[in-house]
Structure 1
């Protein structure tokens, strides 16, 4: 049995599952305004680039309205790592569910575990984008993505 723990962030909101889902699907609104491609439908493929530090290509493999979005990382290059393609083959999962009168968002980056080189830096990065930028987009309609 594996004891590896994937990076996971869970948050609860007063907003509806639809509002949370719509915000997650608006990747330009919370991750990067400079995404290339389609990130808001099943089968969509998009590229993320941050300076010369991080580039990656994701495909949307699940898109279940108000419930779940999954991205498969097809290709990645994180220039600050020894193994620059560490994200390649990993999955990024957003699960949305009702918890009483609240909406729970569970973010998991499957394959990003404490034993991989990117874990600490990526923990901080996802922490910012999910806990601050995406949360702000859900609550105020205004995220804090990387600018163009």
Structure 2
């Protein structure tokens, strides 16, 4: 760990973490609810259980015996949601990574969502699969908050993107 007073001898590299910014035609509170309620998360990503409140734990159920578990580090309405992956047996590269969502209001009832998955970088084996997945699920989130119908894991749209029936 570096103390605040120390300077690095080499300049920091730009982040290679997965990042994406999307604009949605929905109020920040609607976007925040989609990121912090199990009904919202299940509607755009995958079946979820647990609590999306700060200090809570969310379990995301995919096609594996054990869920991917995220600790909710921050959930500040309506601006930000931060998670840390604590367990993910089917994607062990994710353990210790930190998905973050930053919400900013724009133009009336629209919002800008800045998503960054800290630690999900080009150095990880899953980067291509995970990039395609996040691209799909962030589009699913947009569709869910705009028209109340996402494309969560297992939906026909999700199966089509994965090439399965």
Q: Which TM bucket (shorter chain)?
A: 0.7 to 0.9
**Which structure has the highest helix share of the two?**
2
Q: Which of 119, 130, 133 lines up with 2:127 in the alignment?
A: 119
Q: Which of 50, 53, 60 lines up with 1:37 in the alignment?
A: 50
Inter-CA distance 14–46: structure 2 relative to 1 (3 Å threshold)? closer
Matched residue, 2:29 = 18
Larger Rg: 2
TM-score (norm 2): 0.76
Separation in structure 2 between the aligned mates of residue 53 and residue 114 of structure 1, nearest angstrom: 27
Contact 1:4 1:114 in 2 (8 A): no
- Provide the aligned length of Structure 1 versus Structure 2: 140
- 1:106-135 per-residue CA deviation (whole Å, 9 max, x = no partner) reads 11110001121111100011111112x111
Matched residue, 2:149 = 142
Which residues of structure 1 form unaligned runs of 5+?
Answer: 79-83
Q: CA deviation at 1:98?
A: 2.2
- 1:79-114 per-residue CA deviation (whole Å, 9 max, x = no partner) reads xxxxx5211111010100123444100111100011
2:97 matches 1:90: yes
TM-score (norm 1): 0.84
Separation in structure 2 between the aligned mates of residue 16 and residue 51 of structure 1, nearest angstrom: 32
**Which structure has the highest strand share of the two?**
1
**Root-mean-square deviation (Å):** 2.1
Separation in structure 2 between the aligned mates of residue 141 and residue 2 of structure 1, nearest angstrom: 39
Q: Secondary structure at the match of 2:146?
A: helix
- 1:43-88 per-residue CA deviation (whole Å, 9 max, x = no partner) reads 111222321398411011100001000111011122xxxxx52111
